[in-house]
Amino acid sequence: MYEDEFRCGLIYIRDNFEDIFLAFKRIESLGGSIFIVTDNNVKELHLNSFLTSISDVVTVKGMHVIKPGEESKNSDTVSEIYKAFSAAGVDRKTVAVALGGGVVGDICGFAASTFMRGIPYVQIPTTLMAMVDSSVGGKTGINFEGHKNLVGSFYQPKFVYINIGNLKTLPREQFLEGMAEVIKYGLIHDAELFGFLIANVDKISDDDIISYLIRRSVEIKDEIVSKDEKEIGVREILNFGHTFGHSIESLLKYKAPHGFCVGLGMTVALNLSIAKGYIGFDVFEKYIYLCKKLGIPSKISDLGFTNIDADDIYENMRYDKKVRNGKIRFVLLKSVEDAFVDELCEKDEVILSIDSIL
């Protein structure tokens, strides 16, 4: 498989844990001790194989296991991790290990970035969403007062180790959540990737195809983040669909899958791009084709929810991190692989675009 010193740092792409010890040996000067943060599901599925692979090179100081899911992504969980760090004697040379999906990675990264004003950490993503998106780029965070990722930090892991073999245990729904992010990369940055997805949609789970999709997604995110680590410019395009998606997700009290909410957000963003005259309907049709073939929802009702209002979605977007001087800014498309931030969207046209998913 692959091993690269990407511009964002060391990222390993493998199909097992057999040589993860090499990744740890490259940072053994930090002290050789680790503290693991994971969730109950990942502990049952992957912890033993991970521990077996690193037993000769590191000492495990301790472990904290959280409840799976977005409801754990809060300040109470971070406080529990701080207490566990302290009780285990974690110091500035102890490496915090995020073994799990996006929630585990975000929480562990945030706790690591703030405990003792920063201890090293690594990302070992176990879901497709985390592999192609949240583990790469150094964003950490928690939800606050019902708003997605309102508190967080930019803090780069010492390395990211992607074991594609972990996907074999992933439920289909979680796999599709990750595919929504892969589609995003094609739309905002790589027309060839978008075309590849359409051409290979019926065999998307094949090992060689998913390996390519992960590799290409990581390359795209690495390229963008390396130009704008702190998201003050071009990195904002990675939020295509997320302004709408995060609003939907929080209004649904995180009872709907994150990736599916982002998928709905991309539906809205494409409709708004059409309404503004930036793209033709053909791009939207290709996107909906992919969603239907894969089983990614394109209507909120597909998620089993009907009690959500377009005005509520709009107003909740005022907490989005791209808001400037009270003005909601949207990532839209001028064409496939040409995304930009539009500051000139009127509320009425945004509401009409939101109506397309209700």
Catalytic center residues = 117, 139, 181, 221, 231, 235, 239, 242, 246, 258
Cβ atoms < 10 Å from Cβ of 347? 11
* Bridge partner residues of 151 (DSSP): 142
Nearest partner of 181 among 98, 268, 239, judged by Cα:
239
For the stretch 19-53, what's the b/e string if a residue is b when 16 or more beta carbons lie within 10 angstroms of its beta carbon?
A: ebbebbeebeebbebbbbbbbebbbebbbeebeeb
CA 301 to chain centre: 24
Angle at 106 between CA 241 and CA 253, to 5 degrees: 60
Nearest partner of 218 among 178, 245, 166, judged by Cα:
178
How, if at all, do strands 147-154 and 139-144 pair?
Answer: antiparallel
CA gap 194, 333 in Å, rounded: 14
